Structure 1
């Protein structure tokens, strides 16, 4: 339930000497438009990528992406000792958005829980100036594919149901996405990350209440769970230690 905004690149001007006179000559690159990064560079969602995050000196969990097409990919999260897990989340790239479609019993399997939004709003990184988002067929607007220069917030409510509609979980998901910034953990200093700050409420077999409050960094070229700072349901920290392709 959990896992965009732009690095501006400006080339320095060239200093060229002509005879005894120094003349500043800006390079062509200095007038070029900034190159926007995208969500795929930080998640590696369309690569057969995987990673492991550690807490307290031992493996706390593992993730892996399973691309199913050029626009659809499942991500699995679980215990590395019991891999693969019998659950995954399905994400769909549609235009300039990454959408969350639902959940299944393992990467590549049909959806067993379908998530549909009843309300979505987008605003600035402080969740102010919220405006309605047009529906994407009910799928959740999870993150913008092209990473904007400024952070943004998505506040959405919806339901999770099996295909037969026999049960309903009501939820609210608030995400703040922060633009690229320098980041480090104990094993990977000097990286560049985007940050997802998220809160999740639901009524899944309990009264409707806050179930998750955390901040996660995603590292460019490495992937998910670079750092994890959780305060709800418990105070807990974990950092990415191993990253690979399979």
Structure 2
């Protein structure tokens, strides 16, 4: 397959939404993540729950980690009182006329890939990033006013520019991929996790033997880039009820 044929195939496969997954040396996968533009806003989220919660970069200059409106209202109708539709909000960096502003990074660590392999049909429309043990795939999201054609050489200093989406307002969103070492110490400790507040968003019981994925994000200052980490192999475990005093 020539380079031109490969690029045409990618264009057809990703004409609506870009699908990306990381694969470690043992053939285990991260969650599948999707990236897409709509009008003048840009979104990304884990494919399996993107209709529930996602990251959005809005034309108004604000970034959000938030619940889908219909999902939020449905959960409230089920008696599950999610405190707010928006879980986190910050001011996006503002790109200049030249260059790009780093708005977000998705991190997929090899040591936390636990998903099964893709079907042949799914693999044909998904970009699979092979990563070595102890490393991660980082997908950076960059905003620019400069056209991707001239911006590409600058982004190559960071990683490999893979896709660019031009929004209705003329803003360009570029996805840049690179592999780098991943330090598991950057994840919350068991003590931090035990102290964290949690809320069940389903009325269905969750088995403690079921392997889950956790999606973690930090809290950047205004003008910074949010970092989202996909951690597979997580299991739900209820805390023991403390004895009555």
Question: Which TM-score applies when normalising by structure 1?
Answer: 0.30
Q: Which has the larger radius of gyration?
A: 1
Instruction: Determine which structure has the larger helix proportion and give its number.
Output: 2
Instruction: Determine which structure has the larger strand proportion and give its number.
Output: 1
